[in-house]
Amino acid sequence: MLIHHYDQATGEYINSGQPDVDPRNDTRWLVPASSTFDVPPPRTPTTWPFYLDGEWRLLPDFRGRICYRTDNGEPVEIAVAGKTPEELGLTTQPRPSHRHSWAKGAWAVPPELIVREKRDAAMAEFWRLMEVARRQTAGKADAYAAGLLDDEQVHNFKAWSAYQMALVSAIERDTFPDDVEWPPTPGPYVPPAASETNADVPDQPSEPNEAGNSAGADSA
């Protein structure tokens, strides 16, 4: 016969052992305080017996297990029995990343964070493209106004200035940043072809030959 000891304050099972015989009556066993002959129920890997209100109950036991704080994801080890991780503000699920927050019993990336990240990424690309464009027009505004730029420089200045305006228009659309379409990068300057330069010059009449016919004409 075994006697089973439990914590006086919490009822948590401590251990079992042989009871002592009553020295005044060898037919009786001594039952000290906070102990019982009632046999604790079989426990599982995550339960522990507690003697409460005159009977054994199996309560949660996650002692020695690594859990994670639901407020910041930091790992902790549970040191007491009788509480579930949820009751302690913990979870057995590790936090996937610093972007995840605990909500409705699971780790998830908050929708507002996804929206903010998408906007931040789009604005970072905007400023990268804008910096490229500004380098192309830097220091040329006064020269353009004074007519000091050649044809290629004028073309490039106008093209990159228009590109900057198109970039601003792209982020001012109602669909930004969910649906953003960046303008194409201005192409290189292409000078007018020689044939296009002479396109407006009228054809000259052919010189007559000795027979009075135009050069190259068939003889009668």
Per residue in 131-145, pLDDT (tens digit) is: 999 999 999 999 999
Q: Do residues 56 and 78 touch, judged by C-beta distance below 8 A?
A: no
Confidence of residue 24 (pLDDT cuts 50, 70, 90): confident
- Is the predicted pLDDT of residue 220 greater than 50, yes or no? no
Q: Which of 185, 191, 186, 187 is nearest to 152 (CA)?
A: 191
Span 170-198, pLDDT tens digits: 999 999 999 999 999 999 999 887 445 55
What is the DSSP track for 130-182? HHHHHHHHTT-HHHHHTT---HHHHHHHHHHHHHHHHHHHHHTSTTTTTS--P
Return all residues near 101 (Cβ < 8 A) that are at least 6 apart.
107, 108, 109, 110, 113
Whether the pLDDT of residue 23 is over 80: the answer is no
- Rounded to two decimals, the pTM is 0.58
CA distances from 165 to 11, 127, 182 (A): 75, 13, 11
Q: What pLDDT digit, counting tens, does each position of 66-119 carry?
A: 999 999 999 999 998 999 999 999 999 999 999 999 999 999 999 999 999 999
Which amino acid, residue 92?
T
- Closest by alpha carbon to 15, among 29, 45, 31, 35? 35
- Is residue 62 scored above 80 in pLDDT? yes
Strand partners, 147: none
DSSP 85-112: TGGGTEESSPP--TT-EEETTEEE--HH
Cα-based torsion angle of the residue sequence 46, 50, 53, 57 in order, rounded to the nearest 10 degrees: 30
- CA distances to 82, 129, 150, 159, 198 from 162, in Å: 69, 13, 18, 5, 30
Backbone φ and ψ for 39, nearest 5 degrees, come out as -80, 130
CA end-to-end span of the chain, whole Å?
Answer: 143
* Spans of all domains in the chain: 3-60, 66-108, 111-185
